[in-house]
Amino acid sequence: MLTVDFDRLDLRPGMRVLDAGCGTGRHICEAFRRADVTAVGLDLNENDLRKAGGTLWVMSQEGSCRGNVMALKSDVTRLPFPDGAFDVVICSEVLEHIPDNRKAVSELMRVLKPGGDLVVSVPRWLPERICWALSEAYHNEPGGHIRIYRKQEIRRLLEEAGATCRGIDYRHGLHAPYWWLKCLVGHKREDSRPVNLYKRFLEWDIMEKPRLTGILDRMLNPLIAKSVVFYLKKGC
């Protein structure tokens, strides 16, 4: 499941792409698949990095991707790269976890080339606020979400760091009710029939991509999209 719309990025051979907070690698794998790029994913979760590295290795062995790729452990607030190292920087569903979010954004901007693309997504305010209201444990999870952004708040944070917003998108309208259900019954419960049925529905939708649920998702996105996505440029 992709939160970033790669059709809005002009990826070209030879570009360097950073996925800061890559998790299991959904976005860095898509970047690697689409173009002959150098793709770098980083995260603090070693288990997620192993999964990302395994997927990227399989992709490289299949020969469908010709670029270079790596996954490494690092902190988004202390990126181990020189200034202007990347043409594209992606940071999806990460900033809501980080205490010093200004430092994180500063680092993302530092390693991005002038004129480069920055894509940032965070949970949307209303769906996230409902999750917090339904479950105290949901937002007290170690390493979990420590803040809820309003759209203008996160936009201001990014623009004050030197980014220019060129577009905003909303994604995953079908997913917000799933998280509400999880929070309602206990966000770590694995024996809830309604939650498991909804999860299977979402997995089916991701794999099969039926036209009807695609239309429904687009209808729900303006109302209850789980994520808000910002497409920005550095300094222009």
Q: What is the pTM of this model?
A: 0.93
Which tens digit of pLDDT belongs to each residue from 175-193?
999 999 999 999 888 899 9
**Using CA atoms, how far apart are residues 198 and 207, in angstroms rounded to an integer?**
14
Q: What is the DSSP letter of 64?
A: S
Which pLDDT belongs to residue 44?
93
Tens of pLDDT along 72-103? 999 999 999 999 999 999 999 999 999 999 99
Query: How many other CB atoms are there within 10 angstroms of residue 138's CB atom?
Result: 19
- Identify which has the larger pLDDT, 105 or 140: 105
**97: which DSSP letter?**
G
Q: What angle do CA 110, 113, 116 make, to 5 degrees?
A: 115
Q: Of 4-18, 51-65, 87-101, 169-183, which range is least confident?
A: 51-65
pLDDT at residue number 157: 98
CA pseudo-torsion sign 143, 146, 152, 156: negative
Tell me the domains of the chain and their CATH numbers.
6-234 (3.40.50.150)
Q: What is the pLDDT of residue 55?
A: 85
- In the sheet that holds 86-92, the strands lie side by side as 68-73, 38-43, 16-20, 86-92, 112-123, 227-234, 163-171
**38-43 and 16-20 strand pairing:** parallel
Place of tokens 């994520």: 227
Q: pLDDT at residue 235 above 90?
A: no
Q: How large is the angle between the packed helices 125-134 and 176-185, nearest 10 degrees?
A: 10
Buried b (16+ CB within 10 A) or exposed e, 168-184: ebbbbbbbbbbbbbbbb
Query: pLDDT at residue 221 above 80?
Result: yes
Instruction: Give percent of the chain with pLDDT exceeding 90.
Output: 77
Percentage of the chain surpassing pLDDT 70? 98
Q: What is the pLDDT of residue 181?
A: 96
Q: In whole numbers, what is the pLDDT of the chain averaged over residues?
A: 93
